[in-house]
Amino acid sequence: MIDLHPNIDAELIPILEEVADPEIPVLTVLDLGVIREAVIRNGKVLIKLTPTYSGCPAMDVIGDDLKAAFLKKGMEAEITLVLAPAWSTDWISEEGKRKMEAYGIAAPLEETADKEALLGNKPLVKCTNCGSTHTRLVSQFGSTACKALFQCEDCMEPFDYFKCLK
């Protein structure tokens, strides 16, 4: 069961909104959907964090950044890494997807379209520079494990595409 509305105490939201993904700094941890729980218990902030990819090096940084952000407000945070349920790109918020595109990374397509695009069957990924879908896959892996590298055949812009992960 995928929980799209994790249990997060309202008063913690402004602080969580200050913590960004180190690889995609326009996205907050809430946009990314990696916070599975954030509650205050006995004066301590307890956070459940889920990794995007098993080996994503951003996770350690995010954990440290979260602790630092809460410490600045005089709160101690305890981070627990949870694997289940496994993170999915569906958990990236709509707002997050818009910010990602504006930053120059094409947002994940839905699963079937994603497969077609990554197999090179159909040009479906939209160029973040000119908006053309006349794009081609350059490499199945981009600058990080979560992205693939595309190039626009119209404006020639190379850009990252955030792969659909279900």
Partner 1 sequence: MKDQDLYNYILGIADNSLILGQRLGELCGHGPNLETDIALTNIALDLFGQTRSYYQYAAKIAGDGRTEDDIAMLRNERDYKNVLLVEQPNTHFGHVIARQFLFDVYHLQLMNALQHSEDEMLVAIARKGVKEVSYHKRFSGDWLKRLGDGTDESKQKIQEAIDHFWPYTDELFDMSDSDKKMAEQGIGVDLTALKDEYYKQISEVLEEATLTIPDNPYSKRGGKQGIHTEHMGYILTELQYMQRTYPNMTW
Can you give the binding site for partner 1, defined by CB under 8 A?
A: 51, 53-57, 83-87, 118, 138-145, 149, 163, 165-166
* Cβ contact 91:145 at 8 Å: no
- Nearest CA-CA partner of 157 in 133, 131, 129: 129
Q: How far apart are CA 8 and CA 20, in angstroms?
A: 17
Q: How far is the CB of 14 from partner 1 (least distance, A)?
A: 30
Q: Which is nearer to partner 1, 86 or 155 (CB)?
A: 86
Among the listed residues 50, 34, 42, 48, the one whose alpha carbon sits nearest the alpha carbon of residue 80: 48
- Is the CB of 26 or the CB of 149 nearer to partner 1? 149
In angstroms, give the least distance from the CB of 18 to partner 1: 26
Nearer to partner 1, 96 or 142 (CB): 142
d(CA 41, CA 36): 16
Q: Quick one: CA dihedral 17, 52, 21, 110, positive or negative? A: negative
Q: How far is the CB of 116 from partner 1 (least distance, A)?
A: 13
Closest CB to partner 1 among 70 and 150?
Answer: 150
Closest approach of Cβ 141 to partner 1, in Å? 4
| CA atoms of 18 and 134, how far apart (whole Å) | 36
